[in-house]
A and B are shown apart, each in its own frame.
Chain A
Amino acid sequence: MAFGAFSSGAAPGVATVQEGPRRKSRVALFLLLPGIAYLALFFLVPLISLLLTSFMAPREFGDIGQFDYAFRWENYVKVVETYLPHILRSFGYAAIATVLALIIGYPLAYFIGVNLRRFPLVQALALVLVIAPFFISFLLRTLAWKQIFADEGPVVGALNALSLMGPGDHITGTPAAVVFGLTYMFIPFMTLPIYTSLERLDLRYVEAGGDLYASPWTTFRTVTLPLSMPGVVSGTLLTFIPASGDYINASRDFLGSTETAMIGNVVETNFLILQNYPAAAALSIILMATILILVGAYVRKSGTEDLV
């Protein structure tokens, strides 16, 4: 964004004056230097290190966690073979959580951004409430959910009483609990961008839709939704990307079990417990590349390249 903003600003100047823009561009470069240095140091270097690590080979007669730089591309084949179910599961859970967060977040954002427009104070209060969960550590909140969903807890007790759950059924440690946790965690990330889009929605367009005999649903589909698309796209990205890499909800210590391990949990196990750094690095690269491809395709399809 910063590059784009600057170059478009400088371009008209080139035709008229020769000296000015060059000095300007030098100043801009100078101003950008800290940012570039920051990115190079804290993004590029770790990324290259990660890439190199992912190709490392075990040292001959080496001890646990000892590897040498090499070009062992088989690392990638091996982790995909071993952990394909976890990779698919991660994106599956993340996709479901994103859709659920959208279904919950959109009406909420619409209510706050459109219906509450006439009451600015209530609107502000509602926004604070959306952000309120962030005031408590999300680890604590996840632990609280674990207690609420425990076998002898209120939810399971109620569902048992209603015969919706058998006596042997449970909630914690199931995929449903993990998807719930992910959805819960990302609802604010979905709601806020959609809210910013809807808040600017000109209601006269909606009125015009009605005047032209469009049903409320058609008006929503052809007017409101397209106008709020930038918010929907950034909301889904802000949910899907971190959700697919999340390893807290699916962790056995929180809402997950041995059936729910996501790619983040696999990376954690390989890195911290097995000291298999190449496998952990290769999985991270695969996760990153897959997200990049999925997100690229999604943004292209939703036709909002200018947004991202």
Chain B
Amino acid sequence: MAARNLPEDPLIRRLVIEARRAQLSRRALLTGVGGGAAALSLTACAGGTGTELKPAEDKSASDKTVNWVNWPLYLDEDESGNHPTLQQFEDETGIKVNYSVDVDDNNIYYGKVKDQLALGQDIKADTVVLTEWMVSRWIRLGYTQELNHDNIPNMKNLNPALADPDYDPGRKRTMPWQGGFAGICWNKEKVPNGLRSVSDLWNPELKGRVGVLSEMRDTMGLLMLEQGVDISGDWGAEEFGKALDVLREQVSSGQIRNVKGNSYSEDLANEDTLAAICWSGDITILNAEAGEEKWEFAIPDAGCTLWNDLFLVPIGSPRKTNAEKLINFYYEPEIAAEVAAWVNYISPVVGAREAAVAIDPALAENQLIFPSDETLAKAHTFRTLDSGEEQEFGAEFQSILLGA
């Protein structure tokens, strides 16, 4: 489709392109059905146009603001609800930060913004924090801007183990925010002997009291690790299928009580589940809420999954430099330590551990926040799936969750 007589505005241009395409397919296939409504419904569901998206022009020099979209409870907060590190950033740089916690789920956030992204529009976010697998989709579809490393001198503090992921070689478009483990946990009163491996969850004594995560890469990652698969390496549908069989069997036999996202911690708290596949940071919070060390988290013998949430700059953001300054700020070890002390997840910043000693020496020893090399050796990243695998594996996993 040549770009002849196309208007300048990307939205209008896209509408015209889609209208032409709809006309063609209608003529060929659907003679006379749903005429003009096709044009009205265009933006609803179609994906990218296939035309390359161009990053928005950077107006950071004149516009001293930055919109940061993050997950809830994912940044240090004082009693009055302010974010001390953000205020420090504003004081140091004079850039005003509009902080919002609009991401509660990778898929739902993606569903909200994908149509604007496909048009290259500003989604009112100059940097968003999303999980690796979702970010790899954004990169694949061209929805991210390339970072200017000159504006992020603190990139030298990035943990070398995270510097060269398969979805973004050389970290050209992303920077890690926080990471964490998915492992196993249990109620210490009801399961006094504890658990050592994922297979211990299938103990008949725990029948109907086991929870697993609806996050495919964590649940399936742990099941595959248990079967001896290197989840970062070269595996395929066969290995995935074998692990899926285990999940299907344990769900249909009633051993697994439920498969949940963030709300799994409620089930642990009200003791519907006594043992679960869970995220490391949550157990610290659960214990703090209970006021006692009621639950214990462990990395299974076969290893655990390691996930990372990443900063990225959406394609339509006109304030990329400001976003880069913000990212740079959070790569100061002292700042990273302050955040880690509050959110209880793993910081990607080298030197944060040393800085954390000044805040709380016990914190610096916590293997779930500042893991040693030995701990990290047991943690594995789920390899990036291509688009076909993402759809195929996703559908198979979800079919178990729907009981089909």
Instruction: List residues of chain A with CB under 8 Å of any chain B CB.
Output: 44-46, 48-49, 51-53, 55-56, 59, 62-71, 82-83, 85-86, 146-147, 150-153, 168, 170, 172-173, 252-253, 257-261, 265-266, 269, 271-277
* Interface residue? B191 (CB, 8 A): no
> In the complex, A271→B44 CA distance in Å?
12
Contact A269 B48 (CB under 8 A): no
Main SS class of interface, A? loop
Q: Can you give 7 contacting A-B residue pairs, CB < 8 Å?
A: A45-B41, A53-B41, A63-B48, A64-B394, A170-B257, A172-B272, A173-B272
Contact B400 A64 (CB under 8 A): no
Q: Which residues of B contact A147 (CB under 8 A)?
A: 270
Q: Which residues of B contact A55 (CB under 8 A)?
A: 30
Would you give the shortest CB distance from A100 to chain B, in whole angstroms?
23
Contact B107 A272 (CB under 8 A): yes
Q: A63-B387, A70-B29, A252-B214 are in contact. Are A258 and B403 (CB under 8 A)?
A: yes
> In the complex, A71→B29 CA distance in Å?
6
Q: Chain B residue with minimal CB distance to A151? A: B272
Q: Which residues of A contact B114 (CB under 8 A)?
A: 65
Would you give the shortest CB distance from B195 to chain A, in whole angstroms?
19
Within 8 A of A (CB), among B242-259: 251, 256-259
> In the complex, A66→B21 CA distance in Å?
14
Q: Which residues of A contact B400 (CB under 8 A)?
A: 258
* Interface residue? B203 (CB, 8 A): no
Q: Which residues of B contact A82 (CB under 8 A)?
A: 399, 404
Interchain CB contact (< 8 A) of A66 among B26, B44, B47: B47
> In the complex, A65→B255 CA distance in Å?
34
> In the complex, A253→B387 CA distance in Å?
28
Interchain CB contact (< 8 A) of B47 among A59, A153, A276: A59
> In the complex, A172→B260 CA distance in Å?
13
Interchain CB contact (< 8 A) of B404 among A86, A150, A274: A86
A to B contact number (C-beta, < 8 Å): 134
Contact B270 A151 (CB under 8 A): yes
* Interface residue? B111 (CB, 8 A): yes
Mark contacts of B385-404 with chain A using CB atoms, 8 A cut-off: 1 yes-contact digit, 0 otherwise: 00100110011001111111
> In the complex, A56→B137 CA distance in Å?
22
Contact B395 A69 (CB under 8 A): no
* Interface residue? B1 (CB, 8 A): no
Q: Chain A residue with minimal CB distance to B137? A: A64
> In the complex, A272→B401 CA distance in Å?
14
Top 4 closest A-B pairs, CB basis? A66-B47, A49-B41, A48-B37, A150-B270
Q: Which residues of B contact A273 (CB under 8 A)?
A: 107, 394, 398
* Interface residue? B73 (CB, 8 A): no
* Interface residue? B208 (CB, 8 A): yes
Contact B141 A63 (CB under 8 A): yes
Contact A67 B270 (CB under 8 A): no
Given A168-B208, A258-B256: 20 more A-B contacts, CB < 8 Å: A52-B38, A52-B41, A53-B44, A64-B390, A64-B391, A65-B47, A65-B114, A67-B46, A68-B25, A69-B38, A86-B404, A151-B270, A170-B272, A252-B258, A252-B401, A259-B403, A272-B111, A274-B391, A274-B394, A276-B395
Within 8 A of A (CB), among B88-147: 107-108, 111, 114, 137, 140-141
Would you give the shortest CB distance from B18 to chain A, in whole angstroms?
9
Q: Chain A residue with minimal CB distance to B204? A: A168
Would you give the shortest CB distance from B19 to chain A, in whole angstroms?
11
